[in-house]
Amino acid sequence: MDRRQFIKNTAPVLLLLTNGELLYRSALSLNSTHNKVKFRFAVASDGHFGQPKTNWESDYANVIQHINAQHKKRKLKACIINGDIIHNDPAMLPLAKQQLDQLKMPYYVTQGNHDMVNEEVWKKTWNMPFNHSFVADKQVFLLATTATEKGEYICPDLDWMRAQLEKYKKAPNIFIAIHITPVKWTDNAKDCPEFINLLKDYKNIRAVFNGHDHDQDDMKETEGIPFLFDSHIGGSWGTTYKGFRMVEVMQDNTVATYILNPETKLNERMLPAGRVLSS
């Protein structure tokens, strides 16, 4: 084993276990177990298709190429595009869809504050409403809007979210994707205490995925709930690289996740199946 492979195999990975506790293990120890991946998906956000003075066409082409490459190697069951698909101009929405349709796996979208269209246009374009859920291989996904047509920040619809959480309260895993961060960790967040108070009662929520904050690419936590950020795939600011998040659900419902930037792994974490996180 060469030095590069040794470092790769022994680098610590943070796991989210079924009881909600966080612990570190090496990639080598993970690979040596019989805990195989049963479901794999990607999360990307903030492409800002059409933003002036950015390379939005090549940014989209690049991330689609890399996500498809991961699919070819590892078989992705889904991809979530978590908001700010376009940059304000509604005319760009069908053009962005033409690009995203090149993804080789099923993909789903959320509305961000720069996706300035009404729900009728959104549904006509994507064949899904602002707030929607889907189930794939028993994994539940709740995708909700956090913005108005004018780009104003809003909290997720509590009535809709509560109904979905009740509907799927016996599911092994629930993943939530919303564009705007619902805790005031960042300058661009929208504080949503009632939303957080709702989530903490459902122990099968494994993670909440946030976009919006282009300079965030790791995990934050409140009430035992991990909130995962994914950098950005376009736009004019943020991390020095443009990347996306990979998520792998293991047979025991432990969840492994990491950023690709877009080729190298960063911030590898494993999330235990359950709640009560600790560092």
Global model pTM greater than 0.75 = yes
Task: Flag the least confident range among 9-18, 153-162, 171-180, 270-279.
Answer: 9-18
Task: Specify whether the CB–CB gap between 174 and 168 falls below 8 A.
Answer: yes
Helix (H, G, I), strand (E, B) or coil at 9: helix
Give the pLDDT confidence score for residue 7 in this predicted structure. 37
Give the pLDDT confidence score for residue 198 in this predicted structure. 98
Give the pLDDT confidence score for residue 191 in this predicted structure. 98
Task: Specify whether the CB–CB gap between 126 and 96 falls below 8 A.
Answer: no
The answer for residues whose C-beta is within 8 angstroms of residue 41's C-beta and 6 or more apart is: 76, 77, 78, 79, 80, 246, 247
Give the pLDDT confidence score for residue 185 in this predicted structure. 97
State pLDDT tens for residues 45-94. 999 999 999 999 999 999 999 999 999 999 999 999 999 999 999 999 99
| Distance (Å, whole) CA 177 – CA 245 | 12
Give the pLDDT confidence score for residue 137 in this predicted structure. 97
DSSP per-residue string spanning 46-102: ---BT-TTS-HHHHHHHHHHHHHHHHHHH--SEEEEES--BSS-GGGHHHHHHHHTT
28 vs 254, residue with greater confidence: 254
State pLDDT tens for residues 107-117. 999 999 999 99
Task: Flag the least confident range among 145-159, 218-232, 255-269.
Answer: 255-269
The residues with which 140 forms a beta bridge, in sequence order, are: 135, 174
Structure tokens at 106: 């099923």
Q: Average of pLDDT values for 131-149?
A: 98
pLDDT bracket for residue 11 (50, 70, 90): very low
State pLDDT tens for residues 186-223. 999 999 999 999 999 999 999 999 999 999 999 999 99
| Distance (Å, whole) CA 148 – CA 55 | 26
Structure tokens at 80: 């979530």
Percent of the chain with pLDDT over 90: 81
| Distance (Å, whole) CA 159 – CA 106 | 27
198 C-beta neighbours (distance < 10 Å), count: 16
**Does residue 1 have a pLDDT over 80?**
no
Structure tokens at 17: 């276990």
pLDDT averaged over every residue in the chain: 90
| Distance (Å, whole) CA 44 – CA 231 | 8
**Does residue 260 have a pLDDT over 70?**
yes
Please report how the helices 119-126 and 93-100 are oriented relative to each other, as an axis angle in degrees rounded to 10: 30
**Per CATH, the architecture of 3-271 is what?**
4-Layer Sandwich (3.60)
Q: Which residues of 83-108 are buried (b: 16+ CB within 10 A; e: fewer)?
A: bbbbbbebebbeebeebbeebebebb
Task: Specify whether the CB–CB gap between 244 and 233 falls below 8 A.
Answer: yes
CA distances 103 to 18, 106, 115, Å, are 31, 8, 20
**Does residue 139 have a pLDDT over 60?**
yes
pLDDT bracket for residue 5 (50, 70, 90): very low
State pLDDT tens for residues 19-28. 455 444 544 4
Structure tokens at 243: 């990347």
